[in-house]
């Protein structure tokens, strides 16, 4: 490796530590990176001059001696634009280093199919607004987008967006073109990005094997194996919502199959089980069922228990396959899980192998509906963290 | 990194290339390792002096110019002992570099429960015989064992061996003690090791995402994600046989659950479906059903089709979760798969998402019943490949 390449890698690694942890002492950076004090000082100075980090005297430590200076991300300089195309909304945000959401725009989205042109038009409008509202010296260093469907990793092509009826739509390329910022748009599946975000900044910090179930109309999945997102050969792995758990008596699924996990625990499964008419749907309807169950309504309670049984079977299967440290419930499953937890746990005890389930934790997502957006921002930061000064042109 | 550490790593990497590929030219080694000709020559000379590799003039290439010398593993010098504790047999083998089985011993094993003492006694006897039969200057560099149950990675403790009724039995430690060779015994789950072996030397060469289903009484799994065996937090992942596919109407499973994949496609499921009495079991019985189906026997054909339906549902789920490049059927599923392939494929088309299944290959294992043994040998070689001269005391 050439000296320039080593320096570039060190700068990226240091910036990543600061970006992920928010605030790291010089001493800790030296220990983590195996570098001496003067090298850390030199690297920090370079990143500081580029407006990416700043150094501060930490608050009183109570210990004797001069405390090690703390390095923090400079939030107002470099930023990314992050987009979230979810089932019920479109969100765009300006996100600073450290994952701080600095500004955002949001539009509700009707459930009926949406064409690429209209979705991209709304998002691009938001993107331009956010850029104009940014401080004049702030620099957009990347663009990331989360999409509620299956994405081809290289070019952000939507291979299958069941909710919008999209097949092979060039979403990433089109959004990049319409924004006109001269930057590519990195696109990821919403549940993949939610898993990454929860592991980085949410309920999954410190876990190397993590399963994130993202509920909306269906159920998506993001699975972290050995610290890395499971992608598979084409980037289409993690589709735990299409794990068949009830092949013969199951409900039909939007994918054309029957008895998929998402058909048994998705939004419509819960609303049907609670006896709600088909014209009532969405997060609000779902929260009404949850509230009704909490108030003791028998039909709503029964519905949640039914969902909990199927969810527990699905999660038990995932525990047997992945032996994860933690399973997280995100999206609408964050609302559903508490009222179904007893059934979920009972199913895990019944169907999970003792050695695989003995240490697993079950939690709701900590980032809530922002998990996918935060994950999209990480896609946007990837190049900056690989080569900080190169991306800034310093 | 210190110079000694770099050299150690280079020696290990070079030996690994030769061990895995069987024969690699000096030129190719230089290209793969990013090292110049004289460094490759020096490393090869060191490994050659230690009796681990030899250089040969390759056969005529038909091209002009002096051909690059080829480096091959020295098969007769260093060896490992590999053990396989399977449902129906105990095997021990002396295995040379390059994965060559040089000598072996085998004993049938009755299906009734077996105590640790008896199993270890047989294996240790085989191990001593194999060592005595080895050439006097051959060196045993490691010991690996495959076991048909769930293994704690660090110390070879059998956490759960359903077939033998073992719970928390110190198999690895006890076998090491009884052999008395002063070497630890590295133990792995049979299906995990089968997956590793198939990826290294079998039908899975070149695939980074691979699923190996190992059938015997039940169905074990080995899953390679991004080139690495999926282990999970405790090393207990990959248990695809305990993925529930038929939770309410399913057959009871040995794990205490119901409708697990292995309950629906394991040996007894097939024999029951074919109408065979419970006193007939084992690989021979199973092969008779397969032969009967091939000859047109309606009950046997129907039984294989039923197994194929459930197997296909399970494999479709795995394809949706892992987006693998290849799915391999090993153990008794190697016999069963061909007569059930039509149903398996139809289920995959029905339940698998198109983008996840479009490129996947389905194959039977290439190493057959030796897959687990070959995988166990790799466990035994791990330390040698990390530090070749250190392990030999050169």
Q: Look up residue B126 and give its two tokens.
A: 């085989």
CA–CA separation, A38 vs A61, rounded Å? 23
Q: pLDDT digits over A262-316, tens only?
A: 999 999 999 999 999 999 999 999 999 999 999 999 999 999 999 999 999 999 9
DSSP designation for A252:
B
Neighbour-count burial of B136, counting CB atoms closer than 10 A to its CB (0-12 exposed, 13-18 middle, 19+ buried): exposed
- B160 → chain A, closest CA residue: A355
Per-residue pLDDT for B219 more than 70? yes
Cβ of A150 within 8 Å of Cβ of B355? The answer is yes
- What is the sign of the dihedral through the CA atoms of A178, A181, A187 and A191? negative
Asked if residue A199 belongs to a domain, the reply is: no
pLDDT value for A159: 94
Q: What percent of chain B has pLDDT over 70?
A: 97
DSSP one-letter string for A345-360: HHHHHHHS-HHHHTT-
Name the domain boundary from B51, B73, B95: B73
Cβ of A355 within 8 Å of Cβ of B159? The answer is yes
Q: How many CB atoms lie within 10 A of CB B356?
A: 29
CA–CA separation, B292 vs B19, rounded Å? 42
pLDDT value for A86: 94
- Specify the residue for token string 């054909």: B301
Interface test with B, best of A252, A321, A349 (most B CBs within 10 A): A321
CA–CA separation, A22 vs A71, rounded Å? 8
pLDDT value for A340: 97
Please state whether beta strands A157-161 and B185-189 pair in parallel, antiparallel, or not at all (unpaired).
Answer: unpaired
CA–CA separation, B6 vs A1, rounded Å? 14
Residue A225 with chain B: CB contacts under 8 Å: 225-226, 230, 232
Q: pLDDT digits over B53-78, tens only?
A: 999 988 766 666 677 789 999 988 89
CA–CA separation, B233 vs B262, rounded Å? 23
pLDDT value for A394: 61
Chain B 171-190, residues with CB within 8 Å of chain A CB atoms: none
Chain B 227-256, residues with CB within 8 Å of chain A CB atoms: 228, 230-240, 242-249, 255-256
pLDDT averaged over every residue in chain B: 94
B158 and B88 within one domain = yes
Cβ of B234 within 8 Å of Cβ of A355? The answer is yes
Interface check B90 vs A, CB under 8 A: no
CA–CA separation, A195 vs A17, rounded Å? 19
Interface check B346 vs A, CB under 8 A: no
Q: What angle do CA A21, A198, A385 make, to 5 degrees?
A: 45
Total domains, chain A? 3
Q: pLDDT digits over A81-101, tens only?
A: 999 999 999 999 999 999 999
Per-residue pLDDT for B286 more than 70? yes
CA–CA separation, A332 vs A301, rounded Å? 17
Asked if residue B316 belongs to a domain, the reply is: yes
Residue A159 with chain B: CB contacts under 8 Å: 355
Residue B324 with chain A: CB contacts under 8 Å: 232-233
Name the domain boundary from A73, A99, A131: A73
Q: Assign A64 a pLDDT band (cuts: 50, 70, 90).
A: low
Selecting from A234, A255, A322 the residue whose C-beta is nearest the C-beta of B230 gives A322
Per-residue pLDDT for A1 more than 60? no
- B349 → chain A, closest CA residue: A257
DSSP designation for B336:
H
Q: What percent of chain B has pLDDT over 90?
A: 89
Q: pLDDT digits over A197-253, tens only?
A: 999 999 999 999 999 999 999 999 999 999 999 999 999 999 999 999 999 999 999
CA–CA separation, A43 vs A27, rounded Å? 13
Per-residue pLDDT for B182 more than 80? yes
Asked if residue B290 belongs to a domain, the reply is: yes
Q: How many CB atoms lie within 10 A of CB A221?
A: 28
A362 and A259 within one domain = yes
Cβ of A320 within 8 Å of Cβ of B240? The answer is yes
> Domain with A386 in it: what CATH number?
3.30.420.40
Strand spans (E) along A208-263: 210-215, 219-225, 228-229
Q: What percent of chain A has pLDDT over 90?
A: 89
B119 and B235 within one domain = no
B361 and B294 within one domain = yes
Residues 6 or more apart whose CB falls under 8 angstroms from that of A343 comprise: A305, A307, A308, A309, A311, A312
Cβ of A355 within 8 Å of Cβ of B242? The answer is no
Asked if residue A187 belongs to a domain, the reply is: yes
Selecting from A209, A230, A353 the residue whose C-beta is nearest the C-beta of B322 gives A230
CA–CA separation, B95 vs B375, rounded Å? 11
Altogether, the residues listed in chain B come to a count of: 394
A335 and A241 within one domain = yes
CA B155 to chain centre: 19
Asked if residues B273 and B302 have their Cβ atoms less than 8 Å apart, the reply is yes
Residue (of B49, B124, B138) closest to B85 by Cα position: B124
Chain A 110-169, residues with CB within 8 Å of chain B CB atoms: 150, 159-160
Q: Which residues pair with A214 in a beta bridge?
A: A220, A330
Q: In angstroms, what separates the C-alpha of A204 from chain B's closest C-alpha?
A: 13
For residues B333-349, average pLDDT: 98
A253 and A127 within one domain = no
Asked if residue B43 belongs to a domain, the reply is: yes
CA–CA separation, B50 vs B124, rounded Å? 28
As a whole number of Å, the end-to-end CA separation of chain A is 21
Residue B322 with chain A: CB contacts under 8 Å: 230, 232, 237
Name the domain boundary from A27, A48, A73: A73
A313 and A241 within one domain = yes
B356 and B212 within one domain = yes
Q: What angle do CA A289, A291, A293 make, to 5 degrees?
A: 70
- Specify the residue for token string 């987008």: A145
Interface test with B, best of A226, A252, A254, A312 (most B CBs within 10 A): A226
Asked if residues A224 and A230 have their Cβ atoms less than 8 Å apart, the reply is yes
CA–CA separation, B2 vs A7, rounded Å? 19
pLDDT value for A310: 98
Q: Find the Cα–Cα–Cα–Cα dihedral A126, A128, A129, A133, rounded to 10°.
A: 140
Cβ of A233 within 8 Å of Cβ of B320? The answer is no
Residue (of B374, B385, B386) closest to B145 by Cα position: B374
pLDDT value for B391: 87
Q: pLDDT digits over B221-259, tens only?
A: 999 999 999 999 999 999 999 999 999 999 999 999 999
Q: Assign B2 a pLDDT band (cuts: 50, 70, 90).
A: low
Interface check A359 vs B, CB under 8 A: yes
Cβ of A236 within 8 Å of Cβ of B355? The answer is yes
Interface test with B, best of A238, A242, A344 (most B CBs within 10 A): A242
Interface check B316 vs A, CB under 8 A: yes
Residue B317 with chain A: CB contacts under 8 Å: 242-244, 317
Asked if residues A393 and A14 have their Cβ atoms less than 8 Å apart, the reply is no
pLDDT value for A61: 60
pLDDT value for A385: 97
Expressed as residue numbers, the domain containing B63 is: 3-73
Residue (of B279, B249, B288, B243) closest to B262 by Cα position: B243
Residue (of B9, B1, B72, B83) closest to B39 by Cα position: B9
Q: In angstroms, what separates the C-alpha of B267 from chain A's closest C-alpha?
A: 20
Asked if residue B200 belongs to a domain, the reply is: no
Q: Which residues pair with B79 in a beta bridge?
A: B96, B140
B359 and B211 within one domain = yes
Asked if residue A215 belongs to a domain, the reply is: yes
Cβ of A256 within 8 Å of Cβ of B350? The answer is yes
Q: Look up residue B154 and give its two tokens.
A: 């660090």
Asked if residues A391 and A382 have their Cβ atoms less than 8 Å apart, the reply is no
Chain A 266-295, residues with CB within 8 Å of chain B CB atoms: none
Q: In angstroms, what separates the C-alpha of B35 from chain A's closest C-alpha?
A: 12
B82 and B61 within one domain = no
Q: How many CB atoms lie within 10 A of CB A378?
A: 24
B58 and B156 within one domain = no
> Domain with A30 in it: what CATH number?
1.10.10.10
Asked if residue B177 belongs to a domain, the reply is: yes
Interface check A351 vs B, CB under 8 A: yes
Q: Assign A60 a pLDDT band (cuts: 50, 70, 90).
A: low
More confident residue, B124 or B165: B124
- Specify the residue for token string 């052999």: B179
A346 and A225 within one domain = yes
pLDDT value for A195: 98
pLDDT value for A59: 72
Buried b (16+ CB within 10 A) or exposed e, A13-33: bbbebbbbbbebbbebbbeeb
Q: pLDDT digits over B79-110, tens only?
A: 999 999 999 999 999 999 999 999 999 999 88
Q: In angstroms, what separates the C-alpha of A359 from chain B's closest C-alpha?
A: 9
Interface check A322 vs B, CB under 8 A: yes
């Amino acid at each position: 490796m050439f000296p320039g390449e080593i320096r570039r890698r060190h700068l990226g690694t240091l910036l990543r530590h600061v970006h992920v942890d928010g605030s790291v002492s010089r001493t800790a950076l030296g220990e983590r990176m195996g570098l001496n004090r003067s090298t850390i000082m030199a690297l920090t100075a370079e990143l500081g001059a580029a407006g990416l980090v700043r150094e501060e005297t930490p608050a009183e430590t109570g210990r004797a001696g001069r405390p090690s200076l703390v390095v923090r991300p400079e939030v107002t300089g470099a930023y990314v634009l992050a987009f979230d195309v979810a089932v019920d909304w479109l969100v765009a945000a300006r996100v600073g280093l450290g994952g701080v959401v600095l500004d955002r725009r949001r539009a509700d989205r009707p459930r009926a199919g949406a064409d690429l042109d209209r979705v991209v038009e709304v998002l691009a409008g938001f993107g331009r607004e956010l850029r104009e509202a940014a401080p004049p010296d702030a620099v957009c260093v990347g663009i990331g987008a989360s999409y509620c469907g299956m994405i081809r990793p290289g070019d952000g092509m939507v291979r299958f967006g069941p909710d919008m009826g999209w097949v092979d739509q060039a979403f990433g390329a089109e959004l990049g073109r319409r924004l006109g910022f001269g930057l590519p748009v990195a696109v990821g599946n919403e549940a993949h990005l939610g898993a990454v975000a929860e592991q980085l900044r949410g309920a999954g910090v410190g876990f190397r094997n993590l399963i994130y179930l993202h509920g909306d109309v269906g159920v998506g999945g993001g699975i972290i194996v050995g610290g890395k997102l499971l992608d598979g050969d084409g980037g289409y792995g993690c589709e735990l919502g299409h794990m068949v758990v009830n092949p013969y008596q199951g409900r039909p699924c939007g994918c054309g199959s029957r008895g998929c996990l998402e058909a048994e625990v998705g939004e419509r499964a819960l609303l049907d089980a609670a006896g709600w008419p088909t014209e009532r749907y969405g997060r609000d309807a779902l929260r009404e069922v949850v509230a009704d169950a909490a108030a003791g309504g028998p039909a709503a309670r029964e519905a949640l228990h039914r969902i909990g049984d199927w969810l527990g079977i699905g999660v038990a299967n995932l525990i047997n396959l992945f032996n994860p440290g933690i399973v997280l419930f995100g999206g609408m499953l964050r609302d559903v899980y508490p009222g179904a937890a007893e059934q979920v746990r009972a199913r895990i005890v019944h169907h999970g192998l003792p050695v695989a389930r003995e240490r697993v934790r079950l939690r709701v997502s900590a980032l809530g509906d922002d998990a996918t957006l935060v994950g999209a921002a990480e896609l946007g930061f990837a190049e900056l963290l690989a080569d900080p000064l190169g991306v800034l042109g310093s």
